[in-house]
C-alpha cells in the first residue's frame, strides 16, 4: 500500500486534526504540546493535515480550473507524525518526550522525516536530539532529498554541522536535479555552509544534472541587492578552493555568462581575474557582453555599464559595427552603456537614421547625451580618443592591469579604462 493510500490514524476532518490546526495557526505551544505528546493514541500515529482529493467527494466545490480542463488529476495529501510536527515547530521538549516514548526518528509517512523537518526549520537542538537517537543522517525524502539538502537558510548551519558530525554524506546528489549540498548552499548564498562542506571534503567542481558546478549555480542565482556582498564572498571562497572559473553547463554557459546576465560587475571582475574567458560563446552564440547588453534595460540600477567596462578591459570583442543600432535600440534608456561601448571603437560612423530606434520619451530624458552622439555624425573623433584606442589596442586583454601602472593622473587612467563621463567628445 502506498503512502497516499494509507488510512491515517487521524483523518483531516477529525476533531483532533481540527484542534491541531487551530493550535498551529494560533502558535499555541502549550496546546500543541498537549495534543502531540499526550492526546495521540501512540507516538507514531499518522496524522492527515491536508487532503484536497475533490474527486472522492461528489459534494465538493470544484476548483474553477476543472471546468476549463486545466486541473491536474493529482491532489495534495499531507501525512505526518507527532514527531515530525514537533521537529518542524522546533519544540525540543516535545521531540525529547516522543523519542523517549519510542517514536521512530525515521518515520516519514508524508515523504519527509523529522530530521528533514528540523533542518528545513533550522532547529539545531531538535536535529541533534534526533541524530542522538539514531536518525539516519542520509535519509532520503520522497523527493530524493537528504537532510543536508534542506539546510537552506543561515539558521540551519548548526543542523548541517550536526549532520556532518554524524557522518552525513556531503556528496549526496538530490532528486532529479542531482544537486549536492554545496550546490544548495551556492544557490542560496550560504557562504558559511559552503565553507563547512568544503572543509568536509565536498568536491568543488562536482556537477549537477544541468552540468553546473557550485560556482556556476551561485553566479546564476537571483540575488537581492543586499545579498550581493555575500554572493561575492561565496564565489571567492569557491575559487580559492580550486573552482574552475570557466566551466560550462549543458548550454555552454560559463559562470561569467551568468554573472553578466545579472549585470554584476564585481562578480564579473572576480571571474575575469581568475581566468574566465571574456570571448566565450554559449550554444546560442551569445558572449558575456551580449548577455549584459540584453539585461541592461531591465536592470539600470545595477549599473550595467560597469560590467560592460570590465569585459572590454579584459579583452572582450566589441559589437559588430552593423549591429550597433540594435544595441542602441535595446539600451537607449541606459546611455552610460552606449557611451562605454561607443568609446571602445576608434571610429564608428554615426547615422542620422539611428534616431528612429530611440523612443522619443527616452531621447527627451537623455537629450544632452544623444545630441552629443548625433553631433559626431559629421565630425571625426578627437585626437585624445584616438590615442586612447591605440593604447588599448596595444595592451589588449591586459588593459585592466597595465593601465594603472602608467605614470598618469587617475583621471587619465579612468579615461583609458572607458570610465563614462556622461557625454561624448
* Angstrom distance (rounded) from CA 208 to CA 216: 10
Q: What is the pLDDT of residues 368-378, one digit of tens each?
A: 999 999 999 88
Per-residue pLDDT tens for 299-326?
888 899 999 999 999 999 999 999 999 9
pLDDT recorded at residue 175: 86
Burial bucket for residue 321 (CB in 10 Å: 0-12, 13-18, 19+): exposed
Q: How confident is the model at residue 5 (pLDDT cuts 50, 70, 90)?
A: low
What's residue 56's pLDDT? 52
pLDDT at 4: 47
Mean pLDDT of all residues in the chain? 91
Domain map (residue ranges) of the chain: 1-58+75-194
- How does pLDDT run across 155-213, given as a tens digit for each residue? 999 999 999 999 999 999 988 899 999 999 999 999 999 999 999 999 999 999 999 99
> Following DSSP, what letter does each residue of 330-353 receive, concatenated?
HHTT-HHHHHHHHTTSS-----GG
pLDDT of residue 356: 93
CA distance 413 to 301: 25
The region, left, alpha or beta by phi > 0 then psi within -120 to 50, assigned to residue 28 is: beta
pLDDT confidence bin for 3, thresholds 50/70/90: very low
* Measured distance CA(38)–CA(20) in Å, rounded: 12
What pLDDT is attached to residue 61? 56
pTM over 0.75: yes
The predicted model gives 388-393 an average pLDDT of: 97
Q: Return the C-alpha cell found at 370.
A: 544623444
CATH architecture of 1-58+75-194: Alpha Horseshoe (1.25)
Average pLDDT, integer, range 116-135: 97
Residue 49 main-chain phi, psi, to 5 deg: -90, -25
Q: Is the pLDDT of residue 1 over 90?
A: no
Residue 66 has pLDDT above 50, yes or no: no
Burial (0-12, 13-18, 19+ Cβ within 10 Å), 74 = exposed
User: How many percent of the chain have pLDDT more than 90?
Assistant: 76
For the stretch 28-42, pLDDT in tens is 888 988 898 888 888
Q: Assign 51 a pLDDT band (cuts: 50, 70, 90).
A: confident
Closest to 173 in 3D by CA, of 144, 198, 153, 150: 144
Q: What is the pLDDT of residue 208?
A: 96
Amino acid at each position: 500500500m502506498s503512502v497516499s493510500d494509507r488510512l491515517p490514524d487521524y483523518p483531516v476532518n477529525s476533531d483532533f486534526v481540527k484542534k491541531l490546526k487551530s493550535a498551529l495557526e494560533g502558535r499555541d505551544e502549550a496546546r500543541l504540546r498537549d495534543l502531540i505528546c499526550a492526546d495521540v493514541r501512540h507516538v507514531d500515529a499518522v496524522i492527515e493535515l491536508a487532503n484536497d482529493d475533490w474527486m472522492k467527494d461528489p459534494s465538493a466545490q470544484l476548483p474553477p480550473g476543472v471546468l476549463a480542463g486545466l486541473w491536474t488529476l493529482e491532489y495534495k495529501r499531507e501525512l505526518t507524525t507527532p514527531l515530525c510536527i514537533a521537529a518542524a515547530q522546533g519544540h525540543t521538549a516535545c521531540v525529547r518526550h516522543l523519542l523517549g516514548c519510542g517514536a521512530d526518528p525515521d518515520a516519514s509517512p508524508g515523504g519527509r522525516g523529522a530530521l528533514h523537518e528540523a533542518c528545513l526549520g533550522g532547529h539545531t537542538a531538535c536535529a541533534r536530539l534526533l541524530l542522538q537517537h539514531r536518525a539516519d543522517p542520509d535519509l532520503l525524502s520522497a523527493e530524493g532529498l537528504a537532510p543536508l539538502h534542506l539546510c537552506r537558510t543561515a539558521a540551519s548551519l548548526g543542523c548541517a554541522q550536526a549532520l556532518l558530525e554524524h557522518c552525513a554524506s556531503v556528496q549526496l546528489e538530490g532528486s532529479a536535479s542531482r544537486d549536492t549540498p554545496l550546490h544548495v548552499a551556492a544557490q542560496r548564498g550560504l557562504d558559511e555552509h559552503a565553507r563547512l562542506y568544503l572543509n568536509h571534503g565536498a568536491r568543488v567542481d562536482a556537477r549537477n544534472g544541468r552540468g553546473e558546478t557550485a560556482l556556476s549555480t551561485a553566479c546564476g542565482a537571483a540575488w537581492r541587492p543586499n545579498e550581493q556582498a555575500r554572493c561575492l564572498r561565496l564565489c571567492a571562497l569557491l575559487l580559492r578552493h580550486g573552482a574552475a572559473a570557466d566551466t560550462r553547463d549543458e548550454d555552454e554557459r560559463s559562470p561569467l555568462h551568468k554573472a553578466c546576465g545579472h549585470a554584476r560587475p564585481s562578480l564579473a571582475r572576480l571571474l575575469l581575474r581568475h581566468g574566465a574567458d571574456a570571448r566565450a560563446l554559449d550554444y546560442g552564440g551569445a558572449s558575456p557582453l551580449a548577455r549584459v547588453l540584453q539585461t541592461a534595460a531591465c536592470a539600470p540600477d545595477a549599473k550595467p555599464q560597469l560590467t560592460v567596462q570590465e569585459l572590454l578591459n579584459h579583452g572582450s570583442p566589441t559589437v559588430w559595427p552593423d549591429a550597433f543600432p540594435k544595441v542602441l535600440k535595446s539600451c537607449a534608456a541606459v546611455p552610460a552603456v552606449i557611451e562605454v561601448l561607443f568609446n571602445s571603437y576608434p571610429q564608428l560612423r554615426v547615422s542620422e537614421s539611428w534616431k528612429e530606434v530611440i523612443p522619443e520619451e527616452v531621447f527627451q530624458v537623455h537629450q544632452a547625451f544623444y545630441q552629443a552622439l548625433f553631433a559626431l555624425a559629421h565630425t571625426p573623433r578627437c585626437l585624445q580618443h584616438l590615442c586612447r584606442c591605440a593604447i588599448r589596442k596595444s595592451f589588449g586583454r591586459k588593459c585592466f592591469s597595465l593601465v594603472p601602472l602608467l605614470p598618469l593622473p587617475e583621471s587619465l587612467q579612468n579615461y583609458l579604462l572607458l570610465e563614462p563621463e556622461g557625454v561624448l567628445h
